[in-house]
Amino acid sequence: MSLNQLNLTLECDPAEPARIAEEIQNFGSTRSWPDQAIFNINLALDELVTNVILYGFPADMEKKDINIRLSKKDDEIRVIMEDEGVEFDPFVEVSEPSIDDSVETRQIGGLGVFFVKSLTDDAWYERIDNKNRITLVVRSNA
């Protein structure tokens, strides 16, 4: 493993996002990653991991671990999150929310994906070897 790479395995448990946030914070801080980049990555992952834990594994499906790999090269931090849950591309299957609508009239769904996109410089989904893979890119000056 590189000095600028972190591999994490999470159980499909609602307590896990807090644990990984602390690990990412400590790892990034000791390597002088920009605080804003670490903050954005943690918020985006909290949203994505929570959604996998809550919705990625129906009751009739065995829950499996979620794997996350972070790496930094030059000014780019790349996050790859993989799970073996139900195939789901949040960037296509969730409609863009109308942020101008009032809370009472706004349709449910889509704000989390909008939030993830606003926290990252790039984000995309792939289905590889029966796994969901989401890649996030956060660019920084450090």
pTM score, whole prediction: 0.85
Q: 3-class DSSP state for residue 97?
A: coil
- Angle, helices 35-55/111-119, rounded to nearest 10 degrees: 150
**Residue found by looking up tokens 């930094």 in the block:** 72
Which residues in the chain land under pLDDT 50?
97, 101, 103, 105-109, 142
Q: Which residue has the tokens 């990555």?
A: 41
What is d(CA 65, CA 9) in angstroms, rounded to the nearest whole number?
Answer: 6
At residue 108, the pLDDT reads: 45
Structural domains in the chain, sorted by start: 5-139 (3.30.565.10)
C-alpha dist (Å) from residue 67 to 6, 34, 79, 132, 134? 11, 23, 10, 10, 11
DSSP 140: -
pLDDT of residue 138: 96
